Structure 1
Amino acid sequence: MAAAASPWTLSGRVAKLSSGEFSAAVDVEHPGRGVQNVAWGGRPIAAVRHLLALNELGPRPCDLVRPIEDCYARGRDLVAVYAESPQYPLRYVLYWRTLGEEQLCGAAAGLDVVVSVQTSILDATPAAFLGSDVSAETVFRLTEPEHIWTPVASRHLGTAPDAAGGASRGDTFLCDLDGSDWSYAEMIHPRDQMPGDALALDHPPSPDAPAAAPLVRTSHRVLGLRLEKGVLLRARLRAILAPRQSARDVALASRAQFHRAELPLTA
């Protein structure tokens, strides 16, 4: 039986994703740019700047060019292997993985990113962050154990504590995207969550621009443990896109599935 065609197409160092109506692109040499050019039915979703980007230097985006050891598409995965070098003493492997129906749980589209890291030096403490930048009208954090979506910030709630440029912790965020009927949800696997997760508003509402949606920047610290030579560390982050009217229920269902899932053997 022939293997299903991959939704990823590589052209040089740029990978294009086409999965049904959903499309996007990844510049593999620049993992700090993440998933870009997100569109549905050929129409760009302008509120999405980038999704699931890797930054080794800190929680803010950083556009480093990483030496690539290998890059290929395999089934639902885009795999990029970043080589060790004197400048970068860690070997990273990133898997951007499109979600199947079981993982989507009714979402229109979704991706998991799995990051793994190894080193050949005797002792290292890798620090890596995964995150996204979107423009959002309203932002919610999922509170536990009640499973209640709590507003974090909104252009209509400029006096909220988190709307003053602060940060809000949590493993699952949901953003009602600006200028569209889409919502975006992002969640880190609970086994991989570390101190340092945050949601920040870099451009909160102001009296001079009351209608401007803030830039929402998510940041998840996914690595930070002591790493011995030859040992492999892994972490996972999920992103889903859903129509706004169903996004909250869909995000809860996809999150529950994500929490049950074992770490894929291919990672």
Structure 2
Amino acid sequence: MWNLSADLAHWKSADLALTIDLKRPEHGLQSLAINGDPIDACLLQIIPPGRSESRPETVIDAYPRGRDLVATYAQTPQRTVRPQAYWSPGSDAGFCSIEITLSMQSSLLQSTPQTEVCSRFSADCGPTQLLDLGGQSVERPGPNVAFVRQISELHRYAQFALPADYAGAAIDDASGSIWRHRFFPDSLEKGVIRRCRLLGVLFTVKTPLNQLTEHLQAWVAAPPRLAT
């Protein structure tokens, strides 16, 4: 369940623990551990448009709703949209997942909503694999392609984006230690709400990759979580 303390949101369940600094969504998941195993990686860093590293975000509203954590951020002169983020942790059949839904709207006639979700790993964690939903290896990142790599002695991590409002993906660094997913390639008009969804999955190194693709297929087929 979620516990909010000032600007920090803490999730703790039987197998997953993490912290989110709501004013610093670009820091991603902090104090992350799965089944007590600390994860030394910066996962699911949300970098909204107009983000300034020198100042924290202005949080308009933040609240837990079941296993969802919802945060709404201000529209500013540097950013012509009002972002809203949903973090939704969950566990199923040996997989610990964190779903992110990003929602964008604006009070202006035209705005630029481009947003990036980034994950960073130690260079010695191992190579990145790319798998399609059929479990086949592919050479290029894209929508419906899972990025997979080992991130600790016991666990692997996968990141997967749906095609809706997908703008592109990249693996930076020769070791593949930085993953970037970009969203909202087009301009946004007043009165329109745009959304994208991305899933991060933690699982043991003993779990066959075909079980991961089955887990992702089930997530794709399931109805999206309620967004406001």
Residue 98 of structure 2 corresponds to residue 137 of structure 1:
no
Matched position secondary structure for 2:218:
helix
Code of the residue aligned with 2:160 in structure 1: it is M
1:169 alignment partner, SS class: coil
Task: Describe the SS at the equivalent of 1:149.
Answer: coil
Counterpart in 2 of 1:84?
Answer: 75
Is the 1:117–1:233 Cα contact (8 Å) retained in structure 2? yes
Q: How does 1:169-184 map to 2 (within 5 A)?
A: 169-170=141-142, 171-177=145-151, 179-184=152-157
Q: Percent identity?
A: 28
Question: Is the 2:135–2:209 Cα contact (8 Å) retained in structure 1?
Answer: no
What is the rounded CA distance, in whole Å, between the counterparts of 1:121 and 1:176 in structure 2?
Answer: 43
Q: What is the distance in 1 between the residues matched to 2:8 and 2:109?
A: 34
The equivalent residue for 2:107 is 120
The SS at the match of 1:132 is: strand
**Paired residues for 1:61-72 under 5 Å:** 65-72=56-63
Contact 2:146 2:159 in 1 (8 A): yes
CA distance in 1, matches of 2:12, 2:35: 10
**Cα deviation, residue 57, structure 1:** 4.7
Greater C-alpha Rg = 1
Unaligned runs of 5+ in 1: 1-6, 153-167, 205-213
TM-score, length-scaled by structure 1: 0.76
Question: In 2 relative to 1, CA 139–80 (structure 1 residues): closer, same or farther, beyond 3 Å?
Answer: same
Using the TM superposition, give the Cα deviation of residue 259 of structure 1 relative to its aligned residue in structure 2, in angstroms: 1.8
Q: What does 1:145-224 align with in structure 2 at a 5 Å threshold?
A: 147-149=135-137, 168-170=140-142, 171-177=145-151, 179-194=152-167, 196-201=168-173, 204=174, 214=175, 216-224=177-185
Q: 1:99 to 1:42 in 2, by over 3 A?
A: closer
User: Cα distance, 1:199 vs. partner?
Assistant: 1.7
Runs of 4+, deviation exceeding 6 Å: none
Residue 55 (1) aligns with residue 47 (2): yes
Aligned equivalents of 1:200 and 1:123: distance in 2?
31
TM-score (norm 2): 0.88
Match of 2:226 in 1: 265
The equivalences for 1:245-260 within 5 A come to 245-260=206-221
Q: CA deviation at 1:91?
A: 0.6
CA displacement at 1:255 relative to structure 2: 1.4
Unmatched segments (≥5 aa) in structure 2 = none
Deviates more, 1:232-241 or 1:133-142: 133-142
SS of 2:108's equivalent? coil
Post-superposition CA distance 1:163-204 (Å, at most 9, x none): xxxxx5233110112x4121101100133422x211222xx4
Structure 1 contact 109–240 (Cα < 8 Å) conserved: yes
Q: Which amino acid aligns with 1:69?
A: I
Q: What corresponds to 1:12 in structure 2?
A: 6
Instruction: Tell me the distance in 1 between the aligned counterparts of 2:217 and 2:95.
Output: 17
Paired residues in the alignment total: 224
3-state SS, counterpart of residue 88 of structure 1: coil
SS at match of 2:113: coil
